[in-house]
Structure 1
Amino acid sequence: MSPPGPPEAAPGNPAAPRRPRWGVLALVGLVGLGMVRQGLTGETTGPPQPGAGSALFPGDLPPDGPAPPPLPRSVPSRVAIPSLDVSAPLMPLGLDGNGRIVAPPAEDPGLAGWYANAPTPGENGTAVLVGHVDSRSGPAVFYGLGALEKGRTIRVTREDGRTAVFEVYGIQVFDKRKFPSRKVYGTTGRPELRVLTCGGPYAAGSGYAGNVVVFARMTGSGQGDPPGR
């Protein structure tokens, strides 16, 4: 898995992300995620894909209403998507030599990752989570991501004891050859979250042709693990 690489940390200050290198990001998509679908026992239709009604429309940006106060930087430890019965630990991810995000280990399909040099979930800016869609043994952590609906909640628990709560406002599949980096990673001036996995048509040998991208905005935060919907 080699997702596109969002901002790097500034030299000497790992807590301060740089602006995205759009020239690099535009050349890479979410490559390699779930490229072992042929190993799934009994799998015939593949993971669910977003419907037309889930797409991101122009009216969805900028977000309506005031943004909640951003949180300080804190390492995220777990992501929960209650409507998909997802609750997964998070590991920090960096970039490979080609400027792509290094994948969570394929041998642990229930593990997701966060791009460590971008804003952390709850900070002002766009945080990024990635995970596999499937594995040789079956569905992986974000197998159902394409079935997520607008208005659903994503919760990210952080090491400072706070939980950043996000509301989904768009889910789309993008061709990895034409990955719209500015649209996906660009800032909206408030805390945002993107969750990525593979999707779209699948071909043996080349894998999934597209990337499922969930767009979500922070709606609040609290201590511990608040209920979602």
Structure 2
Amino acid sequence: MDDVELVEQVRRRWEQGVPPKVIARALGVRPSVVAPLVRRIAAEAAASRGLGRVLGCWVNCGWSVGLGLEGHPEWAELDAPAGEAEGFAQVLVAREGRRGRATLRGYLADVHCLGVKNARDPETMDAGRIPTAVRRYYAAFDRPAVEIPIELGRELIRGAAAYARGLGFEPADAFDGDAAAFLGEWDGPGRIEFGRDGQPFYLNGPYDNSAAVIRTLERSVGAGNFHFSVAAGPM
């Protein structure tokens, strides 16, 4: 594989949200070879998309339940578990635009099993409207959103995508190269232990094929190495 082909292979996988160490393993090269390529590709992508500085990042209460945060105890202190959103992280990121404008993107991840479930299209507005947009985005929750560092928001979404991919689940189609890049460069795997208390935990949704999800988990981690809760209905 020549240098040009290597760069293109790295670029294609990076745009899919694959962590650098996983890219290196897939391509049979050292992580030290891939890391500078990823940094260059990310910088080029940011420049081409005109990403501005981060104005704020938010997540719902309850995002940390069941996650391993030993490497970042200060992150755990940011949460106030609420109960109704355990296992899900709804992250909103705002970046600076031109002339007092801002661009916002939202993400929804199942941090216990399935990874990124949705990524919203970017929304541009006056920067002064950001507080109103945040309240609207989290209106379905009983408690206000928590403001967090972008590093945490990035790891919750990109890390959840990588975790789920390792279990056999791809992120939602909306989580494309642009949506992933908006979060910023991620060198993962990070310090969050995804799953619930160290194991995948599947809670079925209204549009899931629960039987297929469970079969996938049986293949990837083996029966008895995951937990699930499925509402009554056909399997």
Q: Tell me the TM-score normalized by structure 1.
A: 0.25
Q: Which has the higher contact order (CA 8 A, sep 6+)?
A: 1
Normalized per residue, the structure richer in helix is 2
Q: Tell me the TM-score normalized by structure 2.
A: 0.25
Mark the structure with the bigger radius of gyration: 2
